[in-house]
């Protein structure tokens, strides 16, 4: 069995005067070529973990290994960091007064001319910056600057690339476009990557595996689909998108209106005391005779490709439902079916 590229073993970190731990007993592994996303709200420990992995901070406990060798912190080192790890920060940190090509050459300055020239051509092509190589950073768009910063970080073929909120300075439209471009660029590099982001869409769309942090602890980890479709907690469910969280005991009395509803009630009755997680797209408009639930449309919001309706049920419950544009208007009766196998029970 091959060893992981990166192994973080039970690291903890508390800053002086910080009170609670910034990180508590966190472990994770990263395979060669894997893109892993660290996500969570501000203060969850994402950047602290990234700095520990990079060798820019000392852990209070635990160890970080890269290719089986311990990553040393900054204590006793002239320059903090690790020679096989690169960090791309949210402000790009390109040298402002030299061209894109010179920024890349600087990262290759310790190598011979043949390797330097070859890698410069490869990186400019990978980042699609050949025609912009003579421009200064200020003459580039935000997305072009981001690609240039990544190309510089990847130039000398590091083992691991760490990206700290790389899209936070970009507008939403550019952010969406860059996810695909940067993802393709990173896949072409063969480098292991950790992406730190507070934006769930970045994590879900780019990573092969996602780690959700909360208050310095790993709350849940897994594939993007697992975290979205099978969250273990109410916090995880809401973090990754709109979610209807309904106690099964509150739902059961509302399932008596049709044969389909009664059948679903039979399936859910042993699960009283648990909470059901339903994404809005997992509730489908239905004819009354085949519906599980019935209610009244309270409000409808337009989101371009779909509308989100709020449907009020009896007993004060309401559900958010994604429907085709123009399907419902406020005040209309609404009949719903739960998409088969889509509903999910929270673990806690």
153-167 pLDDT, tens digit per residue, is: 999 999 999 999 888
Residue with tokens 């979205």, as numbered in its chain: 228
Give the pLDDT confidence score for residue 179 in this predicted structure. Answer: 87
Question: What's the burial of 196, exposed, middle or buried (CB within 10 Å: 0-12/13-18/19+)?
Answer: buried
pLDDT-derived band at 49, boundaries 50, 70, 90: very high
Rounded to the nearest integer, the mean pLDDT of the chain is 92
Q: Say whether pLDDT at 191 is over 70.
A: yes
pLDDT-derived band at 180, boundaries 50, 70, 90: confident
Q: Say whether pLDDT at 251 is over 80.
A: yes
- CATH superfamily entry for domain 6-233: P-loop containing nucleotide triphosphate hydrolases (3.40.50.300)
Taking residues 259-283, report their average pLDDT. Answer: 92
CB 27 within 8 A of CB 11: yes
Taking residues 245-263, report their average pLDDT. Answer: 90
Taking residues 233-259, report their average pLDDT. Answer: 93
**C-alpha torsion angle, residues 116, 117, 120, 121 (rounded to 10):** -150
Instruction: Supply the pTM of this predicted model.
Output: 0.91
Taking residues 12-16, report their average pLDDT. Answer: 92
Residue pLDDT, tens place only, 194-224: 999 999 999 999 999 999 999 999 999 999 9
Give the architecture (CATH level 2) of 244-345. Beta Barrel (2.40)
Between 337 and 2, where is the model more confident? 337
Other Cβ atoms less than 10 A from the Cβ of 316: the count is 7
Q: Which tokens belong to 27?
A: 């472990």
In the chain, where the domains are located: 6-233, 244-345
What is the distance between the alpha carbons of residues 192 and 249, in angstroms, rounded to a whole number?
46
CB 278 within 8 A of CB 319: yes
């Amino acid at each position: 069995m091959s060893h992981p590229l990166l192994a973080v073993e039970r690291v903890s970190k508390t800053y002086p005067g910080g009170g609670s731990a910034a990180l508590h007993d966190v472990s994770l592994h990263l395979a060669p070529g894997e893109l892993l996303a660290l996500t969570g709200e501000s203060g969850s420990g994402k950047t602290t973990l990234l700095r520990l992995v990079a060798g820019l901070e000392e852990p209070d406990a635990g160890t970080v290994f890269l290719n089986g060798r311990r990553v040393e912190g900054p204590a006793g080192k002239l320059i903090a960091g690790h020679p096989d790890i690169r960090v791309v920060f949210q402000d790009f940190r390109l040298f402002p007064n030299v061209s894109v090509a010179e920024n890349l050459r600087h990262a290759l300055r310790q190598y011979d001319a043949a390797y330097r020239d070859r890698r410069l051509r490869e990186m400019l092509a990978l980042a699609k910056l050949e025609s912009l190589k003579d421009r200064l950073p200020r003459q580039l768009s935000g997305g072009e600057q981001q690609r240039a910063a990544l190309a510089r970080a990847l130039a000398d073929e590091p083992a691991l690339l760490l990206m700290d909120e790389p899209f936070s300075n970009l507008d939403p439209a550019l952010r969406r476009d860059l996810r695909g471009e940067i993802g393709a660029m990173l896949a072409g590099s063969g480098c292991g990557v950790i992406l730190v982001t507070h934006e769930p869409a970045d994590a879900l769309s780019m990573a092969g595996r996602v780690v959700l942090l909360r208050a310095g602890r790993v709350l849940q980890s897994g594939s993007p689909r697992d975290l979205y479709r099978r969250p273990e907690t109410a916090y995880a469910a809401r973090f990754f998108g709109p979610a209807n969280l309904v106690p099964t005991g509150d739902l059961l009395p509302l399932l008596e209106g049709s044969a389909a509803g009664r059948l679903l009630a039979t399936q859910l009755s042993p699960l009283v005391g648990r909470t059901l997680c339903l994404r809005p797209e997992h509730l489908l408009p239905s004819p009354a005779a085949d519906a599980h639930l019935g209610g009244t449309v309270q409000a409808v919001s337009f989101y371009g490709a779909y509308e989100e309706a709020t449907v009020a049920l009896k007993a004060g419950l309401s559900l958010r439902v994604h429907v085709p544009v123009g399907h419902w208007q406020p005040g209309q009766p609404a009949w719903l079916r739960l998409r088969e196998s889509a509903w999910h029970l929270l673990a806690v």
